[in-house]
């Protein structure tokens, strides 16, 4: 059975779905079955809210300052369980909650979900991945047309709603593309995190 909660680099991660609306060329789940202390992050079935709550109840959050919704799927694809489980954590633990997302949640659900997210989540990290729509589509392979402008709109709305919003890219990009991504982030007033690829 796949882990719903696992630890990695002194943080607790919530792996609540394997559904994703992208098929990124660099996605770690195409290379191995798990990260951190998890044995597998591939669910045999979509976790129910009760199963997620049970997993939360088995974890000692002492010494951990953050719960991160990030696993082998896009958390906003399981929006109801994301919102309800984050609210459950907030009721029981003094821990900050971060959402790692591809930024396509509004496109996926056909509405602005950010107010709902901001009610229970403290910070959001959005995968920018590339400096142009064409490069983004080539590397991210989203299931939607116009995914890149939707991502940028999501980031702009998130910047106004969360205590901390960041865009992220992976350091494997060429220097000129990293610089172009930095300019996008700077122009939006959003912090850019350059992640090490591992």
Residue position matching structure tokens 């591809």: 102
pLDDT digits (tens, 9 = 90+) for 103-129: 999 999 999 999 999 999 999 999 999
* Angle between helices 133-140 and 147-161 in degrees, nearest 10: 100
Nearest to 167 by CA among 175, 156, 176: 156
Say whether 193 sits in a helix, a strand or coil: strand
Spatial neighbors of 198 by CB under 8 A, at least 6 apart, are none
pLDDT digits (tens, 9 = 90+) for 140-192: 999 999 999 999 999 999 999 999 999 999 888 899 999 999 999 999 999 99
Which residue has better confidence, 10 or 77?
A: 77
What is the rounded end-to-end Cα distance, in angstroms, of the chain?
A: 24
Mark out the alpha helices in 29-174 (DSSP H runs): 49-57, 79-92, 105-109, 114-118, 133-140, 147-161
How many residues does this entry show for the chain?
198
Share of the chain above pLDDT 70, in %: 97
State the Cα–Cα distance between residues 151 and 157, nearest whole angstrom.
10
Largest CA distance in the chain: 47
The domains located in the chain, with CATH, are: 5-195 (3.20.20.70)
Number of CB atoms found within 10 A of residue 143's CB: 12
């Amino acid at each position: 059975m796949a882990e719903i909660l696992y630890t990695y680099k002194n943080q607790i991660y919530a792996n609540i779905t394997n559904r994703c609306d992208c098929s990124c060329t660099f996605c770690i789940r195409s290379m191995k079955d798990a990260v951190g202390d998890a044995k597998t992050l591939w669910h045999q079935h979509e976790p129910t809210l009760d199963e997620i709550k049970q997993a939360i109840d088995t974890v000692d959050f002492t010494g951990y300052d953050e719960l991160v919704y990030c696993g082998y799927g896009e958390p906003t694809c399981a929006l109801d369980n994301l919102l309800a489980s984050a609210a459950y954590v907030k009721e029981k633990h003094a821990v900050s909650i971060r959402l790692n997302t591809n930024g396509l949640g509004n496109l996926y659900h056909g509405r602005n979900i950010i107010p709902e997210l901001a009610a229970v989540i403290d910070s959001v990290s959005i995968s920018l991945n590339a400096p142009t729509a064409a490069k983004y589509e080539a590397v991210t392979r989203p299931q939607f047309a116009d995914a890149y402008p939707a991502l940028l709109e999501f980031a702009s709305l998130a910047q106004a709603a969360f205590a901390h919003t960041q865009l992220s890219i992976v350091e494997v990009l060429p220097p000129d593309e990293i610089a172009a991504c930095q300019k996008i982030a700077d122009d939006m007033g959003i912090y850019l995190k350059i992640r090490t690829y591992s």
